[in-house]
């Protein structure tokens, strides 16, 4: 027996059929004319009409029952600390709660709430590498957390960024939350990070909590980080003319967050629309934070931007899926062949005045989530946190 080949594993084939509406997450074509998706071993294999798709050999069949399939949501701005606990509001299970708000991927903007966070160079590097390792091995409810985002401090040299990249660190925490608050130093360190493939985000606006500080448009433009983090403040926003200048003079991503200034978020959206640069708009919660943790925060942003910002709901979904995936270079966020089979299935909430799920969102309501699928596996059925969906998908039994 010692020479036997290891038994070939039967590929896991997921079939989702009877999809009523398919939101792609891709701004170029946010609605696809398709009712069937097949995924093999966690990756999308086919998207199309039932008659055109090879649906044979499914190991898991989901009947969407005419509901809407969308990519799982990406929260572009979270502050995780240790596992599924946040000391900021001393809450356990917050990540699992977000899964029930459709969030399947989170991006750390720095593990800054860690009690006793080290600020010396060796210590901050060690903490980032630890967080990267810990969160890649721990996925509450299946949620993938990209963490290990060091906050830059004075004294770091080019070699430190090389070491971090070699150790698996792929992004910086918010520039400006550490001792580096001047444009010249931030620009140098952001450039070193970029040289070694590490992406960067900068804090924008007034201080978030005691100990953080103002980062204005001049520092943001000088630093030239890849993502203008919470351009609508976290919570305190810059004056309107500075926000407009950032939209116009930088080509970097415009991140709007739930725990920010809603009016400033709408100004950003309006400016990006005028510039015809909606591809730059991405969404986060900036949570856990002083204003709490919001399991439905990303859904609330989609609804807010759509209903008050005059953006169609299918486009607003792209801000929290395909746009973020493109800017953050992720395999999820879009329903297309070879992308991750990571989805949420939604329907209009029971008794919403909107006639369709999209219309209900454009009227400011939240959709109900009937199922969340991560890497081809059902992670949650009817959400415990959203208003109940009018219709929920079903797992077809007997397989």
Q: Which is nearer to Zn ion, 255 or 334 (CB)?
A: 255
By CB under 5 A, what part of segment 318-357 binds Zn ion? none
Cis peptide before 385 (omega within 30 of 0): no
Determine the interface stretch with Zn ion among 65-73, 168-176, 322-330, 345-353 (rule: CB under 5 A): 168-176
Total number of residues that touch Zn ion (CB under 5 A): 4
Among 35, 174, 340, 347, binds Zn ion (CB under 5 A): 174
CB of 138 to Zn ion, least distance (A): 24
CB of 258 to Zn ion, least distance (A): 13
By CB under 5 A, what part of segment 1-20 binds Zn ion? none
- Give the list of residues 6+ apart from residue 124 with CB closer than 8 angstroms, or none: 117, 118, 150, 151, 153, 178
Residue 90: CB atoms within 10 A of its CB come to: 8
Q: Which is nearer to Zn ion, 62 or 193 (CB)?
A: 193
Q: Which is nearer to Zn ion, 328 or 348 (CB)?
A: 328
Q: Which is nearer to Zn ion, 30 or 234 (CB)?
A: 234
d(CA 319, CA 248): 19
**Site mask for Zn ion (CB under 5 A), range 259-298, x = bound:** ----------------------------------------
CB of 257 to Zn ion, least distance (A): 8
Which residue's CB atom is positioned nearest to Zn ion?
203
Determine the interface stretch with Zn ion among 22-30, 100-108, 147-155, 170-178 (rule: CB under 5 A): 170-178
CB of 176 to Zn ion, least distance (A): 7
CB of 235 to Zn ion, least distance (A): 9
Q: Which is nearer to Zn ion, 21 or 78 (CB)?
A: 78
CB of 366 to Zn ion, least distance (A): 25
Q: Which is nearer to Zn ion, 234 or 309 (CB)?
A: 234
Q: Which is nearer to Zn ion, 235 or 348 (CB)?
A: 235
Q: Which is nearer to Zn ion, 260 or 370 (CB)?
A: 260
Q: Which is nearer to Zn ion, 184 or 209 (CB)?
A: 209
Q: Does 111 bind Zn ion (CB under 5 A)?
A: no
Q: Which is nearer to Zn ion, 80 or 234 (CB)?
A: 234
CB of 70 to Zn ion, least distance (A): 28
With b for 16 or more beta-carbon neighbours within 10 A and e for fewer, the 27-61 pattern comes to beebbbebbbbbbbebbbbbbbeeeebebeebebb
CB of 330 to Zn ion, least distance (A): 21
**Site mask for Zn ion (CB under 5 A), range 200-239, x = bound:** ---x----x-------------------------x-----
CB of 97 to Zn ion, least distance (A): 22
d(CA 300, CA 314): 14
CB of 180 to Zn ion, least distance (A): 14
Binding site for Zn ion (CB under 5 A): 174, 203, 208, 234
């Amino acid at each position: 027996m010692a020479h036997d080949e290891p038994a070939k594993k039967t590929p896991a084939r997921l079939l989702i059929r009877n999809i009523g509406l398919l939101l792609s997450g891709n701004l170029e074509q946010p609605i696809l004319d398709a009712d069937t998706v097949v995924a093999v071993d966690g990756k999308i294999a086919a998207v199309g009409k039932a008659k055109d798709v090879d649906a044979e050999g499914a190991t898991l069949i989901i009947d969407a029952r005419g509901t809407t399939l969308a990519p799982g949501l990406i929260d572009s701005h979270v502050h995780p600390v240790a596992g599924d606990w946040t000391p900021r509001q001393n809450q356990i299970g917050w990540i699992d709660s977000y899964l029930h708000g459709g969030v399947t991927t989170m991006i750390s903007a720095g593990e800054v709430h860690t009690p006793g966070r080290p600020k010396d160079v060796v210590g901050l590097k060690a903490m980032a590498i630890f967080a990267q390792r810990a969160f890649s091995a721990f996925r509450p409810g299946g949620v993938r957390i990209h963490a290990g985002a060091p906050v830059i401090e004075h004294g770091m040299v080019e070699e430190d960024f090389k070491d971090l990249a070699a150790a698996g660190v792929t992004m910086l925490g918010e520039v400006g939350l550490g001792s580096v608050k001047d444009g010249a130093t931030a620009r140098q360190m952001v450039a070193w990070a970029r040289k070694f493939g590490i992406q960067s985000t900068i804090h924008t606006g007034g201080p978030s909590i005691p100990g953080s500080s103002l980062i204005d448009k001049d520092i943001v433009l000088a630093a030239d980080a890849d993502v203008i983090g919470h351009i609508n403040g976290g919570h305190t926003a810059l004056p309107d003319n500075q926000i407009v200048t950032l939209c116009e003079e930088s080509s970097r991503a415009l991140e709007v967050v739930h725990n920010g200034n809603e009016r400033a978020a709408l100004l950003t959206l309006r400016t990006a629309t005028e510039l015809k640069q909606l591809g730059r708009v991405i969404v986060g919660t900036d949570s856990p934070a002083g204003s709490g943790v919001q399991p439905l925060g990303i859904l609330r942003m989609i609804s807010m931007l759509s209903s008050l910002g005059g953006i169609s709901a299918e486009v607003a979904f792209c801000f929290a899926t395909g746009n973020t995936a493109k800017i953050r270079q992720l395999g999820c966020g879009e329903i297309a062949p070879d992308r991750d089979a990571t989805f949420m299935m939604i329907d209009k909430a029971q008794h919403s005045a909107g006639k369709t799920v999209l219309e209900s969102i454009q009227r400011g309501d939240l959709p109900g989530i009937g199922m969340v699928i991560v890497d081809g596996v059902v992670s949650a059925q009817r959400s415990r946190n959203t208003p109940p969906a009018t219709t929920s998908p079903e797992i077809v039994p007997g397989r």
